[in-house]
Structure 1
Amino acid sequence: MTWQTNLQGRIGVAQDGAFGVKSFTTLFQKLGASKDRAEELAIGAAVHLPAYGIMDSAQRLAHFLAQVGHESGSFKYMEEIASGSAYEGRANLGNTQLGDGVRFKGRGPIQITGRANYRFFGRQIGIDLERRPEIAAYPSIGMHLACAYWSNRNLNGLADKDLLEDITRKINGGLNGLADRKSRLVAMKGLVA
């Protein structure tokens, strides 16, 4: 049995080793997503988590799920609750035009933030997010963005070394929510191992 088959058994789906949309839907529901949101996240996850190497090991998946679980409030929020005005004028995020803070606030499971990130990662996945930033909150698109961000920041390598604080800094810019991220990581390791 592989770790993926074991995970399927733990979440109560057929242990066929093919961790696809059905398995991901059940997993996201167990992690707090509504049925509809879980289904949408699963569509993106089934394609992009394997493509970006996140499904190559249980430890990579555990770190990924701990981080996006924290950022999205257990997959309940695909758009930051706050207005985004705190990001106004933040040149380090590429927010150079009036209204950019609100327009390019955190979206998707990893809460991508700032005009520069919307432009860069939108181009990476082939979608003009700078023109239509609101679609980054669509769960399947947001999942693709999360995977592209994860890959671009070389987070698989940090996950392989079990470097939670380094991963958190690359996602958050600091260590905000570290206790919750640690708690989630312990839970995810217990679930996926």
Structure 2
Amino acid sequence: MSLKPLQIFQKDHCLDPDGVFGPKTINAMRIAFQLTKEQTANFAGQCAHESNYFQRQFENLNYSYERLLQIFSHDFDTDRNRILSEAEKQVARILERKPEQIANFVYANQNGNGDEASGDGWLFRGRGPLQLTGRRNYQLFADAMNDQEIMCNPDLVVTKYYFESALWYFDNNHLWNLAKKTDLTSIKQLTKRINGGYNGLNDRIEKTQTFEGWLNAA
């Protein structure tokens, strides 16, 4: 049975690869990533929330019809009149519970992706703790890692560059300055930049503050 990214990190840093995120693992992250305690707590707090404690590796696109209309209503509104016709809703019914087709439809012609037939939506679907998504972002990440193999084998974001993809996200979006403190204002600002809103804010606050406690006690 292959190890998950968190277990690989633990093994690489001489920890028990039990896949449980705890004080020893987060302190190893602080040292490995050369971050302050506050930056580490913020980084881990946001990533742990987004990835279910680093267990989620790929974007889950196995959506029901109802969920598709909730999340991607704009994509199904092809005539952009803000009202979904029966024909537009029918597309969602056809795509229901078909992850690859969903990805190719909703991510077509955006973020550097080609059209629906190109398959870019599925090929460059979300991976990593903060869900690296879209051909353009994968190319920028491949350039940053100096590894163009990522473009023909995007699963490397999971198998080789899981945490690096999240670190790159913080770098590329200039988030480290917002992570210098762990007060509520800083956590809210980071959440807004990462999530686009404040979904799961209380959980992000709880995780960040818990992780800071672990780091201070190390």
- TM-score, L = length of structure 2: 0.61
Alignment counterpart, residue 39 of structure 2, candidates 60, 70, 75: 60
8 Å CA contact retained: 1:48, 1:147: no
Change (3 A) 1:185 1:143: same
Alignment counterpart, residue 165 of structure 2, candidates 122, 137, 145: 145
Change (3 A) 1:182 1:104: same
Q: Which residue of 2 is the match for residue 21 of structure 1? A: 13
Corresponding residue pairs, total? 155
Query: Counterpart amino acid of 2:126?
Result: G
Distance 2:198 2:48 in 1: 15
Task: Give the unaligned 5+ runs of structure 2.
Answer: 1-11, 62-98
- Are 1:180 and 2:176 matched, yes or no? no
8 Å CA contact retained: 1:67, 1:168: yes
Alignment counterpart, residue 154 of structure 2, candidates 117, 122, 133: 133
4+ long deviations beyond 3 Å: 25-30, 45-48
Q: Which residue of 2 is the match for residue 189 of structure 1? A: 212
1:85-116, CA deviations, whole angstroms, 9 ceiling, x for partnerless residues? Answer: 3542262x333332322221211122211221
Change (3 A) 1:124 1:47: farther
Distance 2:44 2:194 in 1: 13
1:131-174, CA deviations, whole angstroms, 9 ceiling, x for partnerless residues? Answer: 22121111x41212211221222222101144112222332333
Change (3 A) 1:191 1:143: same
Q: CA RMSD in A?
A: 2.8
- Are 1:95 and 2:79 matched, yes or no? no
**Could you say which structure has the larger radius of gyration?**
2
Task: Give the unaligned 5+ runs of structure 1.
Answer: 1-19, 33-37
Distance 1:47 1:144 in 2: 14
Distance 1:63 1:169 in 2: 13
Q: Secondary structure at the match of 1:102?
A: helix
Distance 2:17 2:170 in 1: 20
